[in-house]
Amino acid sequence: MKTIKELKNNLFFEKKNKKKNNNNNIEKNTTNNNSNSNLKNENKNVIENNNNNNNNNNNNNNNNNNNNNNNNNNNNNNNNNNNNNNNNNNYNNLENKNNIEFNKNNIDNSINVNNNSYAQMIQYSNIHCIDWSSLISVHKLDLGSSNIFLVATFLNNSCEYNQVLLKSSTTIVQEVYASVLESILMLPIPEMRLLEFSNDEYLQMSRSLLTISSKTNRSLHDYIKLELLKSFFLIMEYAPNGKSFKDLDYKEYFSGYSGEKKLNQLGQVIAFDIFCNNSDRLPLIWDNVSSHFSNILFYDIPNRNGWYISLMNSNVTCINNSSFTIGYRKYITRVKSLFYSIFKRPNIESNQIKKMRESISKSYKINLSSSSGISIQRGLIQGVQLIISRISISILTDTKEKLRHLVKIDSTINAWKKGLDSIHLPFLSDLLETMVLFC
């Protein structure tokens, strides 16, 4: 099991040195399979080590209470240093143990959650080495299009709050596949890792979530029970202070130089959504889309990579690749028509972009100008160019194959296998070739 960074690096390495390294790759895969068989025990050891460290620290604190005030101060400082070292060691241990982790671009800013009494006290978001027994609250975060996250809040021994997002889905495989591609393209996505039901941590998470929710909210408790049956969860970095598209003060947010950059970035995201046929965020190709740019969070301050947005949830929806399928032909035709318009006259707003603006105005009373449409259009062109420069048919194929062996045990309904089978590579290949035609 590899982190997404390792997976991404391997994909590019294999593409460049495929013939030279076939034997080495087979040997590495064998090693990874052996590591996978020990994953559960390794995770358990990490958790036990954490508990032992906490017990040792508690014993030290009790002994220190017998000393005078000056010694207390010195010992407390030493204990804090020891705690930091222990945490760093635990983190490094976890990285070295082939956990199923998907490392994404870190987000410097955070998601605003309504009715969250802990929002002003959150000090960090750490998705690694979670002590599920320290869970103190859980509530829903609804970003639209039936995409609901669970916000889990923890309180550690240092009285520091930690929050993470939890998400399950019937299309979890497609979402993970899209996230890998986003990482290759360096699009703004939160750090996350996959947790499967065969892992000991899944049981710890389940017990804590059900215990806390049963005391506070019966309907939430019932919802969590159903989600846990889906067998796979994403544990995601929590980032406060983000806003959904419909909640933006658009006149202020999209004004000035930074406003143009935000629109440009939105266009790059649209390009990726076109490639993946992600209808949750795609009001451009399909008609009667129920939401616009759902699962995108917007920030006032850019992250370290200059992005003002974060893609909270992505998906890939492949249509049957037969050229005689009506839906397939319709989609490819509309994509070609859009690309023809924007690449031929990049500084003139296309009819498709104009219709998208009108749809946004009708749904949210957000009236973007034609110049805003052109900024989105330019970003879309950049996004297409980025995709064809970084994504290849071999990368699409290798990514799917690596995900096939990512989990140890599939669910009783073979959810992982069915998800993989729904990713039709010929459809993605045709879209990639269509993009190449216009660049």
Residues 254 and 197 in one domain: no
d(CA 103, CA 180): 10
Domain-terminating residue out of 237, 270, 290:
237
Check residue 193 and give its pLDDT: 95
Among 397, 394, 389, 405, which residue's Cα sits nearest to residue 424? 397
Do 293 and 221 share a structural domain?
A: no
Residue 115 domain flag: no
Note whether 297 and 426 are same-domain residues. yes
* Shared domain check, 313 and 380: yes
Q: What are phi and psi of 139, to 5 degrees?
A: -150, 170
For residues 301 and 159, membership in a common domain is answered with no
pLDDT confidence of residue 40:
39
Question: Which stretches of the chain score pLDDT less than 50?
Answer: 1-3, 19-116
The answer to whether 65 touches 59, Cβ cutoff 8 Å, is no
Rounded Cα distance, 410 and 173, in Å = 11
Identity at 415, one-letter amino acid code: A
Helix (H, G, I), strand (E, B) or coil at 376: helix
Residues facing residue 142 across a β-bridge? 148
Residues 46 and 151 in one domain: no
In a domain, 110, yes or no: no
- CA neighbours closer than 13 Å in the CB half-sphere of residue 253: 23
Of the candidates 373, 292, 303, 298, the one whose C-alpha atom is nearest the C-alpha of residue 338 is 373
Positive/negative CA dihedral, 411, 417, 418, 423: positive
Residues 250 and 223 in one domain: no
Beta bridge partners of 167: 234
Q: What share of the chain is helix, strand, coil (3-state, %, to 5)?
A: 55, 10, 35
Gap between the Cα atoms of 438 and 98, Å rounded:
41
Secondary structure element (H or E) that encloses residue 228, with its range: helix 218-228
Domain membership of residue 397 (yes or no) is: yes
**Which residues on adjacent β-strands are paired with residue 235?**
166, 193
What is the number of domains present in the chain? Answer: 3
Same domain, 334 and 372: yes
Whole-angstrom distance, CA of residue 383 vs CA of residue 62? 58
Please report whether residue 113 resides in a domain: no
Per-residue pLDDT at 363: 80
Tell whether 229 and 366 lie within a shared domain. Answer: no
Residues 400 and 261 in one domain: yes
Q: Classify residue 183 as left (phi > 0), alpha (psi -120 to 50) or beta.
A: alpha
- Token pair, residue 200, equals 């000991």
d(CA 435, CA 425): 15
The range of the structural domain enclosing residue 413 comes to: 245-437
Residues 296 and 192 in one domain: no
CATH of the domain at 170: 3.30.1010.10
In a 3-state reduction of DSSP, which class is residue 193?
strand
Q: Are residues 310 and 418 in the same domain?
A: yes
Q: Round to whole Å and give the CA distance between 46 and 90.
A: 7
Q: What is d(CA 129, CA 116) in angstroms, rounded to the nearest whole number?
A: 24
pLDDT at 16: 53
Q: Residue type at 382?
A: Q
409 falls within a domain: yes
Q: Which of 237, 253, 272 lies at the terminal end of a domain, its last residue?
A: 237
Q: Which 8-state DSSP code applies to residue 169?
A: -
Q: Let me know if residue 320 belongs to a domain.
A: yes
Q: What values do phi and psi take at 385, rounded to 5?
A: -65, -35
Does the residue 111 lie in any domain? no
| Tokens 């028509």, located at residue | 337
* Tokens, residue 429: 């290949």
CA distance 343 to 436: 12
For β-strands 101-102 and 192-196, DSSP reports them as: antiparallel
Pairing of strands 161-167, 122-124: parallel
> Which contacts qualify for 158-162: CB closer than 8 Å, 24 or more apart?
158/83, 160/123, 160/124, 161/118, 161/121, 161/122, 161/123, 162/122, 162/123, 162/124, 162/125, 162/126, 162/130
Report pLDDT for 80.
42
Contact 10, 2 (CB under 8 A): yes
Please check whether residue 166 is in contact with residue 152, taking contact to mean a CB–CB distance below 8 angstroms.
yes
